Structures are given as structure tokens and as C-alpha cells.
Amino acid sequence: MATQGNGRQPKYQRIADALRNAIQAGEYGPGDRLPGENDLMATYDVARMTARQALGVLQTEGLAESRKGSGVFVRDFKPLRRRGIQRLSHEQWGTGRSIWSAETEGRNVVVDQIEVTEAEPPERVAGVLGLEAGAQVCVRNRRFVLDEKPVLLATSYLPLDLVAGSAITQRDTGPGGIYARLAELGHKPVHFREEIRCRMPSQDEANRLSLSMGTPVVLVCRTAFADEGHPVEFNEMTLDSASYVLEYDFDA
């Protein structure tokens, strides 16, 4: 079996390396079409499957994207820098700004596929929120689209007895979003905890995020706490890993 090093690296990987180097050197810019399978077959004297695998490597890495019927192109997309600490500060949402404005730098963000329902929470969610059996939650499902590219799925769970009748149960929560409304209800978030892990997406997640084959997702589970450590929201977020840089900036 072929291994890396000493010229024994798989052919498809060597082709992918050459294309990646060409992209990084500026030979192919954002939006440019990469050599197709036929071109790679002729240039490197390889089988179609080898050429396809090479292009697939670049797609998996998020450097390229396939356009049906047109070919494979260098991805024209600026990664979103998610500033995990600044975005959740009270100075952000407490002044009526969206936490997204801390990182989008004026880029076009659309929130679609919004669903707001009332339901009994999954057991894991009830445990995090400290809810008793039979308690109901407000569930907010939405998708975030940046520059016409889906980048994030988010599902928030909030105890219904805290938010019933408020704007949180509506599609549009108003300036400052959920956390500003919680503050108005007397449940201002004062502490957040996030847990992060990675995995491959489900088929539904891949479809909703328009993911290229082989692209993993980043899972961010955030709990918001009011005074005395009382949990007021649990948010499960699924991020397109190729669309994000996660940044954490804090003092020692």
C-alpha cells in the first residue's frame, strides 16, 4: 500500500498538493475553475478516479467547491471569525446589537428557516436546564446564511415558564435578541459556558448547510446562566467547519 514520504505518497495526494500550492501561490484565485478530471488525467497520466480523488481532497479541505455541470472552483468565501468571548458580552447584546455584528463586519447575514414551537425537551436538555418531568420549553430553530452560504444551524431551548408571552416566543425577538429580552424579563444572562466538539454531519445537516462531501461540522453547545447560576437557555449550534475560525481572546 502506498505511504507518504520518499516519493511513495498516493498519486491523488500529490496532485492535490500541487493544486493546493498553486492556489496558495495565487495561480488560481477565488472563483477560478480548477483543471477538470480530463485535464488532470492528461497532465499526470492517471485514471479518472485518481483525478476525482485529488479534487475531492481540496473540496474536503474547504479550498474548492463543486458546481454541478460546471466543474470544481476555488472557493470564494471569507471564513467567519467567531469571537467566542466578545460576541457574548453585555456591551454587545445589552445595547440592542446582534451578537452576530461582533464578527460579520458588515457582511450580509440572513436568518431563515425560523421555527418557534413549544414542546417537552429532550432528556439531555431538561437535565442542563434543571427542569422537572413534564415541563415545557420554547424551542427556537433557525439557520444563518452568510453571503448567500448557509453556515450555521441553531436550536435554542428556554424554559417556557420564563418566556411565555414574550417576544422570545415570536419569530423576531427584537433588538439584542434573546438575551436582551431575558434581561427585560428579569433573567439577565451573567455567565455562559460553551462545549465544543467535531463530528461528521447527518444527511439533514449536510443538506441544510449545503456541505461538500467529507466536510465535518463543529458542534457548540452553550448554556446561559442568570444570577445564582440559574440556567435560562441551552443552545445547540452546528457550524460548517470550512466556514469558521474560532477565536478566543483573553488575558492570562
Q: Which three cell numbers stand for residue 21?
A: 500550492
Cell numbers representing residue 15 in the block: 496532485
State the DSSP string of 188-215.
Answer: ---EEEEEEEEEPPPHHHHHHHTPPTT-
Q: How confident is the model at residue 96 (pLDDT cuts 50, 70, 90)?
A: low
pLDDT of residue 64: 87
How confident is the model over 5-15, as a mean pLDDT?
Answer: 80
Percentage of the chain beyond pLDDT 70 is: 92
Length of the chain measured in residues: 252
> Residues 230-247: pLDDT tens digits?
999 999 999 998 888 888
The pLDDT tens digits for 19-51 are 999 999 999 998 999 999 999 999 999 999 999
When the pLDDT of each residue in the chain is averaged and rounded to a whole number, the result is: 88
CA gap 215, 64 in Å, rounded: 11
pLDDT attached to residue 2: 39
Closest CA to 177 of 208, 197, 154: 154
Local confidence band at 6 (pLDDT 50, 70, 90 cut-offs): very low
Q: Which of the pair, 211 or 105, is modelled with greater confidence?
A: 211
Top-confidence residue, 202 or 88: 202
Largest separation between any pair of C-alpha atoms in the chain: 69
Lowest mean per-residue pLDDT among 92-106, 155-169, 176-190: 92-106
Name the pLDDT band for 136 (thresholds 50, 70, 90).
Answer: very high
pLDDT band at 5 (very low <50, low <70, confident <90, very high): very low
CB 89 within 8 A of CB 101: no
pLDDT at 156 over 50: yes
Number of Cβ atoms within 10 Å of the Cβ of 209: 25
Q: Could you give the angle at the alpha carbon of 150 between the alpha carbons of 145 and 156, nearest 5°?
A: 75
Going from the C-alpha of 181 to that of each of 53, 175, 176, 187, 241, the distances in angstroms are 49, 9, 7, 9, 30
Go through the domains of the chain in sequence order and give each one's CATH number. 11-74 (1.10.10.10), 80-247 (3.40.1410.10)
Cell numbers given for 38: 480530463
Higher pLDDT, 252 or 173: 173
Distance CA 216, CA 198 (A): 7
